Every structure is written in structure tokens, then in C-alpha cells.
């Protein structure tokens, strides 16, 4: 029987072996664009997808491949593809599934940039998105039509920390014969493994918790390897002959790795949304401490959320770890290690008080990022969700009186003290 390792062991060792050439223990940064072929036959076999190997770093690179293997292992997937950002990962995830006139059904509770990407940008490809509250399973089912090719949601939604009932959404996807794509950025595989809960694909902005130190952007797509791409005829890119590879059928040829191979051989080849090897190196190092960091993130978030909820200057707190949250029971059932470290709270005094709060904080950094070791804050209505209407802002959990916090791994008492002094100035 194959030996199975725990999460903490895999986050250090998966995908990484001592370098065979030098014995280097840390994965080297293979800072190269191209790789020498053994001979003409070897080159032809690589280009025909008859042999796996390195051709050109737009497609594959050993440092990036080590990261892809580590993320796939931690998520419990068959394979993964790394790319240049979380936004790139979303387009890459849809690319093998979509075509002009096709649509996706997506959660209303999504990061503002994703709302814009899905409501505006993908129209340029002839794709469209239907936004549905994923808690309303009947509405979710009703939104699916003959042109729907996927359902998309976030495990722990940014900005409000709302937790999705992935098994329930997955049942709707299964019934319709569609893949469920889950953005697991905010939860990370330490808190949630969507593939075990019925998802087909997982996407990450590796920029956030996986790297954990705010140094590089990156994205990843992980495939469960369990979806039958040939069953319905809806996914011809994977089930039908591919003209660029002499009529090769990806699903028939590569089986559980069909989606991963397609994303490299066609997605990265033609879209070029490639992760650079140095970025992959930073992320590999970050993942080595993922569980340790997440444990502290979650503990701090709980302590800070409890303090904020009792504070008279605060209207409400959206953290699903709090018993007052409507999603508390769901979080305990599906996310037993905690509800993440991302949430929002409403400040008495509205928009102006929020802006003053942000400007008065000293320990918190005012940035458009999350998942850093540092505590971060942003007033979404004046920044990340600025392009949305007030109704869309409220639907996304980013109303004008709300700030989003990503609680870091500092001393929790110092985080609370900083919020305390800033709230005093903001509501004076």
C-alpha cells in the first residue's frame, strides 16, 4: 500500500526532490527559457505530446512544475497548472470549457475584480455569466441552460468571509453534468479541500495565503481528474480531435490528466499566461509554512472578530467563526479548522468613518491584497468595488459603511489595540 503523508509533511516535501545534478536541497530556480533536446526524435516526440518533458518555459519549467505538483497534492487533485495571476487562472480554467455563446453560472458573492471579469471582460470572448445566490439552490438550478458550461463560486468568499455550501452546489452541478469550479484562495487547502466536497476544478490566486508574504503574483488551476469530459459532447476541446495536434483527443489520450495537459499544451501555449520560475520559488517557500500560518491567522481572526462584535462603534461583523453568523453551523461542518481570516465589519458613521478609520491605522497596511502575514485593511466601496453600483456593492458584501480586513499573524493584542485607537478617531 502506498504510504500517505500528513498535510504538514506534504507542504514541505510534495513536488520537491534534491536536485539530481547538484544535490541542492531547495528547489532551484531554473532561470531558463529553453531546454536542449537529446536529438531530433526527442524534440518531435515532445512536440507531438508523445513524451513528457521540457520544451520552452512558456509551457513548462522545472521550478514551476514542482509548485504545480505541490499544490495538486495539497488539494488532492490529479494535476495542476500554474500561471501568472489568480485572474489568469480564472480565464485559463474556463478556456478549455467555453466557446462563443456559452455561459457560466456564478455566485453573487465574489471578489469585485472577478465580478468585473465575469460581467464585462469575458463578453469579449463571446462568453457570458449569470449571477445567482448559491444559497438558493432552486435559482441556481433554474439558471442553468443548454449553453451553460460550468458553475463557479468561492469557498470562503472575498470580501465578506461568507462560506459556500460546496457539497450542495456540487450536487446541482452533478445533476446538470457540469463541472463545479471553486476559487479556494481565501480558505486554502488547509481549511477546505473542495475536490473532496464534490468540485471538479479548484483555482487559486497563489499571490495570497499560499505565498503568504506579499512578494509575487501567481495563479493555479487544480483538476480532480474525475470529470467525464466525453459524456455530454459539451466539451469538444477535450473530447474531440484537436487540429493542432494531428487530431489527438485529449480525454481519450490522457484520461484523468486530459484537462491538465490541455491547459499546458493549448492554454499556456496560446494564451501565454505563464508563471515565472522566481515567482514559483517564492511560492514554494511560502507553502512550506502554510499550516502554521493559517492556524495563527484563524486564531487571531477569531479573537479580533469577537472583540469587534462587542464594540459599540461597530454595527456588525461578518466573520463565520462567530456564533452570531448565519453561516456559523455551515462553517463548523465544512470548515472544521476555522472560517479563515478574511471578513468585513460595518463602522457606525458610514463611508466617511470608514475612510477615517483606514487613514488612522498604524499596524494595518492599507492595500488591495489579502492573505499576507501582515494585517491588511481596505475600504472596498472606494477601491476594489468602486466600479460596481451600490446595489452590486451590497450584494458583494462591500457596502459603503463596510471595511474588509485580512487578519495577519502578529500579536492579536497589538492588532486589537491598533483597531481600538483608529476606531476612536474615526467615530469621534
Grid cell of 122 as nine digits: 469575458
Say how far apart CA 344 and CA 404 lie, in whole Å. 4
pLDDT the model gives residue 393: 77
Residue pointed to by grid coordinates 500517505: 4
The answer to whether 127 and 152 are in contact (CB under 8 A) is no
Integer-rounded Cα Rg, in Å, for the chain is: 22
Please give the DSSP secondary-structure letter assigned to residue 275. P
Grid cell of 160 as nine digits: 465578506
Say how far apart CA 310 and CA 313 lie, in whole Å. 9
- Architecture per CATH, 7-286: 3-Layer(aba) Sandwich (3.40)
Q: Does domain 290-426 have CATH number 3.90.1150.10?
A: yes
Predicted TM-score (pTM) of the model is 0.95
Q: Which of 185, 410, 171 is nearest to 300 (CA)?
A: 410
Q: What residue segments make up the domains of the chain, in order of their start?
A: 7-286, 290-426
Per-residue pLDDT of the chain (428 residues; tens, 9 = 90+): 667 899 999 999 999 999 888 999 999 999 999 999 999 999 999 999 999 999 999 999 999 999 999 999 999 999 999 999 999 999 999 999 999 999 999 999 998 889 999 999 999 999 999 999 999 999 999 999 999 999 999 999 988 889 999 999 999 999 999 999 999 999 999 999 999 999 999 999 999 999 999 999 999 999 999 999 999 999 999 999 999 999 999 999 999 999 999 999 999 999 999 999 999 999 999 999 999 999 999 999 999 999 999 999 999 999 999 999 999 999 999 999 999 999 999 999 988 999 999 999 999 999 988 999 999 999 988 887 777 778 877 777 778 899 999 999 999 999 999 999 999 999 98
Fold match flag (7-286 vs 290-426): no
Q: Which of 413, 397, 411 is nearest to 344 (CA)?
A: 397
Q: Please, which residues have CB within 8 angstroms of residue 182's CB and are 6 or more apart in sequence?
A: 152, 153, 154, 155, 164, 166, 194, 199, 201, 202, 203
pLDDT the model gives residue 123: 98
Say how far apart CA 231 and CA 146 lie, in whole Å. 15
Pair type for strands 103-107 and 128-132: parallel
Q: Which of 112, 106, 108 is nearest to 128 (CA)?
A: 106
Amino acid at each position: 500500500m502506498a504510504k500517505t503523508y500528513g498535510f504538514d509533511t506534504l507542504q514541505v516535501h510534495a513536488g520537491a526532490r534534491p536536485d539530481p545534478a547538484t544535490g541542492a536541497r531547495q528547489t532551484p530556480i531554473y532561470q531558463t527559457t529553453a531546454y536542449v533536446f537529446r536529438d531530433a526524435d526527442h524534440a518531435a516526440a515532445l512536440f507531438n505530446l508523445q513524451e513528457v518533458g521540457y520544451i520552452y518555459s512558456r509551457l513548462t519549467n522545472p521550478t514551476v512544475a514542482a509548485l504545480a505538483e505541490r499544490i495538486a497534492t495539497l488539494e488532492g487533485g490529479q494535476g495542476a497548472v500554474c500561471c501568472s495571476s489568480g485572474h489568469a487562472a480564472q480565464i485559463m480554467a474556463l478556456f478549455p470549457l467555453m466557446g462563443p455563446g456559452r455561459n457560466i453560472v456564478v455566485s453573487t458573492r465574489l471578489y469585485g475584480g472577478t465580478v468585473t471579469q465575469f460581467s464585462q471582460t469575458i463578453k469579449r470572448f463571446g462568453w457570458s455569466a449569470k449571477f445567482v445566490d448559491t444559497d438558493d439552490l432552486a435559482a441556481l438550478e433554474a439558471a442553468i441552460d443548454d449553453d451553460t458550461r460550468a458553475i463557479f463560486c468561492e469557498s470562503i468568499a472575498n470580501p465578506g468571509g461568507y462560506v459556500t455550501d460546496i457539497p450542495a452546489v456540487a450536487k446541482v452541478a452533478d445533476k446538470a453534468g457540469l463541472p463545479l469550479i471553486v476559487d479556494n484562495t481565501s480558505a486554502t487547502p488547509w481549511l477546505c479541500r473542495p475536490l473532496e466536497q464534490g468540485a471538479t476544478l479548484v483555482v487559486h490566486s497563489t499571490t495570497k495565503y499560499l505565498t503568504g508574504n506579499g512578494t509575487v503574483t501567481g495563479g493555479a488551476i487544480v483538476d480532480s481528474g474525475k470529470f467525464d469530459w466525453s459524456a455530454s459532447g459539451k466539451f469538444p476541446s477535450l473530447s474531440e480531435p484537436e487540429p493542432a495536434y494531428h487530431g489527438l483527443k485529449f480525454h481519450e489520450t490522457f484520461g484523468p490528466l486530459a484537462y491538465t495537459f490541455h491547459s499546458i499544451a493549448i492554454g499556456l501555449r496560446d494564451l501565454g499566461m505563464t508563471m515565472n520560475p522566481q515567482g514559483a520559488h517564492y511560492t514554494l517557500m511560502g507553502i512550506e509554512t502554510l499550516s502554521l500560518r493559517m492556524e495563527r491567522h484563524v486564531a487571531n481572526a477569531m479573537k479580533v472578530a469577537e472583540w469587534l462584535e462587542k464594540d459599540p462603534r461597530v454595527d456588525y461583523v461578518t466573520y463565520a467563526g462567530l456564533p452570531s453568523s448565519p453561516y456559523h453551523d455551515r462553517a463548523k461542518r465544512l470548515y472544521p479548522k476555522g472560517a479563515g481570516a478574511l471578513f468585513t465589519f460595518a463602522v457606525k458613521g458610514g463611508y466617511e468613518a470608514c475612510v477615517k478609520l483606514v487613514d488612522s491605522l498604524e499596524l494595518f497596511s492599507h492595500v488591495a491584497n489579502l492573505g499576507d502575514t501582515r494585517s491588511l485593511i481596505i475600504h472596498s466601496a472606494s477601491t476594489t468595488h468602486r466600479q460596481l453600483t451600490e446595489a452590486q456593492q451590497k450584494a458583494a458584501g462591500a457596502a459603503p459603511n463596510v471595511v474588509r480586513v485580512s487578519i495577519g499573524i502578529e500579536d492579536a493584542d497589538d492588532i486589537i489595540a491598533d483597531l481600538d485607537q483608529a476606531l476612536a478617531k474615526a467615530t469621534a
